[in-house]
Amino acid sequence: MTTLSNRTEILFLYEIENANPNGDPLNENRPRYDSEENRVLVSDVRLKRTIRDYWYEYKGYNGTDGKDIFVRETTYEDKGKTFVSDGKRRAKAFQESKQTVLDQCIDVRTFGGVLPLDKDSITLVGPTQFQMGKSLNKTDIVTEQGTGAFASGDGKGQATFRTEYKVPYALIGFNGIINEKAAAYSQMTDDDKALLLEGIWEGTKNLISRSKFGQTPLLLITVEYNEPYYIGGLRQRLKLITEKNEMQLRSTDDYTLDVSVLMAELVSQKDKISSVTVRIDPRLKTSQPLTNGLLTL
């Protein structure tokens, strides 16, 4: 397996319906939100967690056969009690060896990380970075209240109340970069890259938790460059065409994705681009035809 030789730019869009894309624990777990623009925000950490979970649950990176995820919850036993491991204990599981971590842990090769040691730490800059995601449409936050199945304690005559915060609908976009220079240090391979792209799409699709059910991947564009260059801001070159108020959007039936500015930019930079690959849900309507596979500029 060889390390990456080309720079790659990523554009990823997914929809979420009547769910919470990324709760803020410091704000009652409300969806992260830009109140000036009325748009939903999703952290890069949330997307990376989605990808890690997919690798762990579906691709066998669960600590067996020399394959693992470094950033995941592990436990240990002490005096008959179970505790969650801290970072130093996790590093000791790999003999505090940077090379052992890189050999076994796809998430460190791909995203980088910090290996906390007893007297020092090792920092690895990840070749794959995502900008914070943002919805292309304006939306609001809906508050839902209900009752729980149990009382808060014995002797109580009423079940507990619960409050949930959701967005009715959002089309969320992420920009990403895979830096081939950093990949040379983290030893990220072409196979790792293939699993990264698979994890972005399939991980989002398989994120079936109560707060995330309703997320569906819609568009994944990867731009391969033949030199150390990237366009940047691919998401910002998209807009929605709709006859509705953006707050009223509820499905892909309600809008068309305008890709004209994005396509024009790709064409203008085609001398720097070696290939463009598209993966698209057929439900997504676009202003210009986009089909699965290599895109001709």
Coil vs helix vs strand at 212: coil
Domain boundary assignment for the chain: 8-61+129-294
Q: How confident is the model at residue 161 (pLDDT cuts 50, 70, 90)?
A: low
Q: How confident is the model at residue 119 (pLDDT cuts 50, 70, 90)?
A: confident
Q: How confident is the model at residue 120 (pLDDT cuts 50, 70, 90)?
A: confident
- 132-158 pLDDT per residue, tens: 999 999 999 999 876 655 555 545 555
Distance CA(195)–CA(222), nearest Å, equals 13
Tokens of 196: 């990264």
Distance CA(181)–CA(55), nearest Å, equals 24
pLDDT at 117: 85
Is residue 160 predicted with pLDDT exceeding 70?
no
Angle at the Cα of 26 (from 111 to 141), degrees rounded to 5?
A: 95
- Are 292 and 282 contacting, i.e. CB atoms less than 8 angstroms apart? no
CA nearest neighbour of 32 among 69, 40, 92, 121? 40
pLDDT at 79: 86
